[in-house]
Chains A and B, each alone.
Chain A
Amino acid sequence: MLTSEKLAVRIVICLAVLCVVMCLCAMVGPQKVSLRKVFAGPGEEPGGNIDYEIFVGVRLPRVILAALVGAALACSGVVLQAILRNPLADPYILGISSGAGLGVIIAVLSGATWAFWGGSPIAVFAFAGALGTVWLVWCIGHFTGKSQVTSLLLAGVVINAFFSAVIMFLTSIAKSEQVHSTIFWLMGNITEKSLSVLGVSAACIFAGIIALFCISHRLNVLTFGEEEAKALGVDTARTRVIAFGFAAFITAIAVSLSGLVGFVGLIIPHGVRLVFGPDHRQLLPVSGIIGSVFLVAADTLARTIVAPAQLPVGIITAIAGGPFFLVLLAKYSRKVSWLK
């Protein structure tokens, strides 16, 4: 049985692994960085310690950004799989990707150049598009069907198809230089962000994950269905609104930061569930941390594998994620019980 002490120990171990991976990945790149020099601190003059400047000023913010996006997408995947009672659900099945993509196309085509809290118009439009789509899917799903779970899935699939068609239409009439940046973004692309953007995003994502953790024991019961959950004292409508709302919120932040990074929200919850079991009180935080580890490692590959050029991280997550997941599925399915 899972106790709070047992969970705390596992979270601390996972966080330690994350810290090590983040440090190692921040050292990797075309310019070699010595950790000893980094710990020596900044030089007396600006630019006096190049290793420190690269590590702290360039690579660490990017690594932190990847960790934030990975955590948000993985946690969102855990929650959506629980409330939709569908192990194949991920943050994009509800049309979040196409909604954000449509926002980006509109931002690019309209030539917006302003900034909001340090965020580019592309990020702001992506955020608005993702959140707006989730709201639309929720409204359609809520008012159309007896079984809200099925209605939500169907509404998401329909909205996804419709927005994808609009994206293709707008892309086909856009100028070529506009199309290039949009396509790069649609493939998932982590780039350096300002500290203010990172700070605000981190605060929002942490707040969202903590809110979701507070309802994680109710998510366990919700996976048994509406009737069972009510019989066990769960206000299903309220729990679903909270879960859906915060999952959409942290996904929208992740999408606005990095574009459409696929696979993380699907495979990380699955992988963690196979090893640690389906208890959401453990699944949610551990998936968040493992999602961070995975995306930090994937982004490091993306920026080093064809250096000095950089690949969109979405390509790495898709190429590495699929086989990794299959190995995990074959090795752990119904075999590991000591961590559950």
Chain B
Amino acid sequence: MSGIIKVENLSFAYRSQGTIVKDISFEVMQGTFLTIAGPNGAGKTTLLNLLCGLLSAQAGSIKIDAAHIESYSVKELAQKLAVVRQEFVPVFDFTVAQVVSMARTPYLGTFGFESQADMKFINEALEMTDTKQFSSRPLAELSGGERQRVFIARALAQNTPILLLDEPTSFLDLKHQVGIYDLLKTMQLEKGKTIVAVTHDINLAAQYADVTLLLGADTSYQYGRAQDVFSPEQIERVFGVRAFTGKIGEEKFFIPLGKFAKDRSRIGRKVDSS
């Protein structure tokens, strides 16, 4: 069975920065939760932009649902994958309902009005993300966490098999970070969505993701089960930080240890708290 996303020998370089993504290959099966992690400048967002067709690869190929990404029109691609970018405030005062309804743009006719079927997707997305309660409020009046939920609702209303998210929990507090990841996991499990999320949080990545792509600043990468990819050695090699690794049941957790860490003797030790 072929994966819904298939990346083969992908390379990309910016003129000013040199090679960012080099010879990457991986395959994501439908209904999988993939996280892309790595230090700043490792090419996480660049890879996401390649996957959503915003950038064109200089070598290699990306297949979405068994067809080359270049073979899709912008409209067709928007029916295959939805993108949630880092939180922002729009120029004009659109309400939450208006923002979520924009998800149906790839399906609208000449005059651009939503049908009953479109409204069903919009209402479902609002309910699932618990954003219906403030659907008539302007987006700008919401908190960062609420806004992020609205953008996820929009992605859900787009009704695509794949969801790409660029650091969906940046700027959010712990409660909202967990809330967003719970929501994504629910969408994966209940709706069969394929989730691809760029993240800096390796604990959340290890807890929620099925597979992880760990990008190094030197264009190296490792792809595999999240629990396998994240190890103290990999974290130290990729991020340049030693980490304390523990385990609660099957869940791994990591505590980065800086030079002022109180108990330096435990650096790198693994503790099983189960």
Contact A233 to B75, CB < 8 A, known contacts A85-B91, A220-B98, A227-B85 = yes
Contact A337 to B136, CB < 8 A, known contacts A217-B112, A227-B85 = yes
Q: Interface segment, A44-52, A132-140, A277-285, A289-297?
A: A277-285
Q: Interface segment, B99-107, B175-183, B258-266?
A: B99-107
A221 — which chain B residues lie within 8 A by C-beta?
Answer: 102, 105
Contact A334 to B93, CB < 8 A, known contacts A1-B119, A232-B102 = yes
Question: Is B136's CB under 8 angstroms from A4's CB?
Answer: no
Question: Is A230's CB under 8 angstroms from B53's CB?
Answer: yes
8 cross-chain pairs, A with B, having the tightest CB-CB distances, nearest first: A217-B112, A233-B78, A233-B106, A278-B92, A231-B83, A233-B75, A4-B113, A232-B105
Question: Is A214's CB under 8 angstroms from B110's CB?
Answer: yes
Question: Is B75's CB under 8 angstroms from A235's CB?
Answer: yes
Question: Is B108's CB under 8 angstroms from A217's CB?
Answer: yes
Question: When chains A and B are docked, how far (Å) is the Cα of A6 from the Cα of B90?
Answer: 25
Question: When chains A and B are docked, how far (Å) is the Cα of A15 from the Cα of B105?
Answer: 28
Question: When chains A and B are docked, how far (Å) is the Cα of A227 from the Cα of B52?
Answer: 10
Question: Is A228's CB under 8 angstroms from B105's CB?
Answer: no
Q: Is B82 an interface residue (CB 8 A)?
A: yes
A111 — which chain B residues lie within 8 A by C-beta?
Answer: none
Q: Which of A221-246 contact B (CB under 8 A)?
A: 221, 223-225, 227-228, 230-235
Least CB separation from B158: chain A residue:
A232
Least CB separation from B78: chain A residue:
A233
Q: Is B114 an interface residue (CB 8 A)?
A: yes
Q: Is B222 an interface residue (CB 8 A)?
A: no
Question: Is A278's CB under 8 angstroms from B54's CB?
Answer: no
Against B, the Cβ 8 Å flags (1 = close, 0 = not) of A327-340 are 00000001001001
B77 — which chain A residues lie within 8 A by C-beta?
Answer: 233
Q: Is B256 an interface residue (CB 8 A)?
A: no
A220 — which chain B residues lie within 8 A by C-beta?
Answer: 94, 98, 102, 105
Question: Is B74's CB under 8 angstroms from A233's CB?
Answer: yes
Question: Is B85's CB under 8 angstroms from A277's CB?
Answer: no
B97 — which chain A residues lie within 8 A by C-beta?
Answer: 1
Tell which of B75, B94, B119 has the most Cβ of chain A within 10 Å: B94
Question: When chains A and B are docked, how far (Å) is the Cα of A58 from the Cα of B110?
Answer: 39
Contact A227 to B95, CB < 8 A, known contacts A1-B119, A3-B113 = no
Q: Is B138 an interface residue (CB 8 A)?
A: yes
Contact A233 to B102, CB < 8 A, known contacts A87-B91, A218-B112 = no
Question: Is A273's CB under 8 angstroms from B105's CB?
Answer: no
Say how far A293's CB is from chain B's closest CB, in angstroms. 23
Question: Is B113's CB under 8 angstroms from A279's CB?
Answer: no
Against B, the Cβ 8 Å flags (1 = close, 0 = not) of A49-65 are 00000000000000000
Say how far A27's CB is from chain B's closest CB, in angstroms. 36
Q: Which of B192-206 contact A (CB under 8 A)?
A: none
Q: Is A213 an interface residue (CB 8 A)?
A: yes
Give how many A residues have a beta carbon under 8 Å from the other chain's beta carbons: 33
Q: Which of B30-76 contact A (CB under 8 A)?
A: 52-54, 73-76
Against B, the Cβ 8 Å flags (1 = close, 0 = not) of A81-112 are 00001110000000000000000000000000
Against A, the Cβ 8 Å flags (1 = close, 0 = not) of B198-230 are 000000000000000000000000000000000
Question: When chains A and B are docked, how far (Å) is the Cα of A223 from the Cα of B111?
Answer: 18
Q: Is B79 an interface residue (CB 8 A)?
A: yes
Question: When chains A and B are docked, how far (Å) is the Cα of A197 from the Cα of B10?
Answer: 59
A223 — which chain B residues lie within 8 A by C-beta?
Answer: 90-92, 94
Question: When chains A and B are docked, how far (Å) is the Cα of A234 from the Cα of B108?
Answer: 11
Tell which of B97, B105, B114 has the most Cβ of chain A within 10 Å: B105
A228 — which chain B residues lie within 8 A by C-beta?
Answer: 83, 85
Question: Is A279's CB under 8 angstroms from B98's CB?
Answer: yes
Say how far B147's CB is from chain A's closest CB, in angstroms. 13
Least CB separation from A219: chain B residue:
B112
Question: Is B103's CB under 8 angstroms from A87's CB?
Answer: no
Question: When chains A and B are docked, how far (Å) is the Cα of A273 from the Cα of B93?
Answer: 9
Q: Is A151 an interface residue (CB 8 A)?
A: no
19 cross-chain CB contacts under 8 A: A1-B114, A1-B122, A3-B113, A4-B111, A220-B94, A221-B102, A223-B91, A223-B94, A227-B54, A231-B52, A231-B78, A231-B83, A233-B77, A235-B73, A273-B92, A277-B95, A281-B112, A337-B95, A340-B95
A3 — which chain B residues lie within 8 A by C-beta?
Answer: 113-114
Question: When chains A and B are docked, how far (Å) is the Cα of A218 from the Cα of B102?
Answer: 9
B94 — which chain A residues lie within 8 A by C-beta?
Answer: 220, 223, 277-279
Contact A216 to B112, CB < 8 A, known contacts A86-B91, A232-B158 = yes
A225 — which chain B residues lie within 8 A by C-beta?
Answer: 88
B95 — which chain A residues lie within 8 A by C-beta?
Answer: 277, 337, 340
Least CB separation from B53: chain A residue:
A230
A233 — which chain B residues lie within 8 A by C-beta?
Answer: 74-79, 105-106
Question: When chains A and B are docked, how far (Å) is the Cα of A278 from the Cα of B101?
Answer: 13
